[in-house]
Chains A and B, each alone.
Chain A
Amino acid sequence: MRTTALSREDRLLLFGLPAVVLVVLAGWCLWRASADLGDIEARALAWDAVGQLALEHVLIVLVCAVLVVGCAVPLGILLTRARAGFLAPAVTAAANAGQAAPVIGVIVLLALAVGFGFWTAVLALTVYAFLPVLANTVAGLRGVDPAVIEAARGMGMSPFQVLRRVELPMALPVIMTGVRTALVLLVGAGAFATFIDAGGLGTLIQTGIIMFRHSILVSGALLVALLALLVEWTGRVMELFATPKGLA
């Protein structure tokens, strides 16, 4: 990994993000350990309660991320094959209309249709985070120089070998950017899981608003934001490693 090849913006984010997250998290932990909290706050912000909510949040994000990548990348590959090309305009149109749908509406509608709970939240968030991965998979694969593919075919590679050893590695950085965007969206939308009884750190925000306890509200908001920043940073690091050595 050669950090010298990175732009100043990338370096700022790569080193600045974890520093900010660590400092703010340490500050919150210090406050939590030393603050003189009332009964309600102390119960809502008990260490193991917060840990449990954070775990639920991360679990929702991870399950959705696996589902999104598992569905969107194969669909993107399919759409870029010559024989399935006729499908592409319809999928693009549907995806663009879907982009205008507010995430909170998608979650509430699905919950009303199929009931509350963890898997409803997973379904709604998967639908929501699908588009960036699909769009970037298609864009990444389309961006591979046709001459390179032709050269690979000329060397005697089968279409599947071309896909696996040429197209996918070259498209990987673009796909990873889509995955990072999706992960960050998932962390943010995961805060709404609490509305449909699926837990997560959003519970603290909701409790804080309902009980009118600013300390709970701000703790929840802060922790969700920190998780999002941490995920963004992880995504950026993964992107660096995903770039094939020959392209860096």
Chain B
Amino acid sequence: MSPRPMRSPKLPPAQHKRPPLIWETVILVAIIIVCVFPFYWMVTTSLKTHIVALEAPPAWIFEPTFNNYSEALFKDGVLRTLFNSLIIAICTTCLALILGIPAAFALARFEFRGKKDLWFWFITNRMVSPIVLALPFFLIAKNLGLLDRHITLILIYLTFNLPIVIWIVTDQIRGIPFELDEAARLEGASQFTIMTRICLPLAMPGVAVSAIFSFIFSWNELMFGLILTRNDAKTAPAMAVSFMEGYNLPYGKIMATSTLIVIPVLIFALLASRHLVRGLTMGAVK
């Protein structure tokens, strides 16, 4: 007897056959629809003209237009903000890896005083609300003349990316047998060599997963992008929000911009979905 979905408690508990597959199929299809439907709606709305988008009740069949896309991309400058987001997300991810991997290695392999506290401090950063940092960071960036620069976002995004990298990679390295290190040490390898030559290749899945997470979180970030940029370094989510003038809500264009922002990250996440699940596992299940 296998467990039954919790949502069908009416079936008798002591059934000997498996509950009919049809139920399972229905539930699975329902899950898929719930997950995917909002995206379907986003994409179709983005292909509607302004008037069709405001039709009540909403139209399911209509003549699609790509005007929203061309307008958003080329007239309103969404293309540039997508590019900004891409640069920022890639740079901050690389930086988080460069800084985080050695720290993760130390946390996994070395014994030192205050290790627990250090680990705890790293992880706590992940919990801090960005608004706590956004206010003072804005003032500091202002004083240093760093407003509206890519580097500012690249640095501030470390506050959530570094903890992710450290959390996941520490776990991953801890799973690598210590004997490998010791064997290498007997041959005179330095800790740095052990990290780069032995642990890193074996920890690659964890590194990849944390990189994916960093990228997705950075790409999706809104509040810092909104407060710390104005023009040159404006990110795509900040751009999407800026169409929301109370005078006129161009929903078609807003959805087109949303689609442009979301589609790359979805493709990325789908390609890496197996690792994504593994990443969650590593971060979560010890």
Do chains A and B stick together as partners? Answer: no
Using CB atoms and an 8 Å cutoff, list the residues of chain A in contact with chain B.
Answer: none
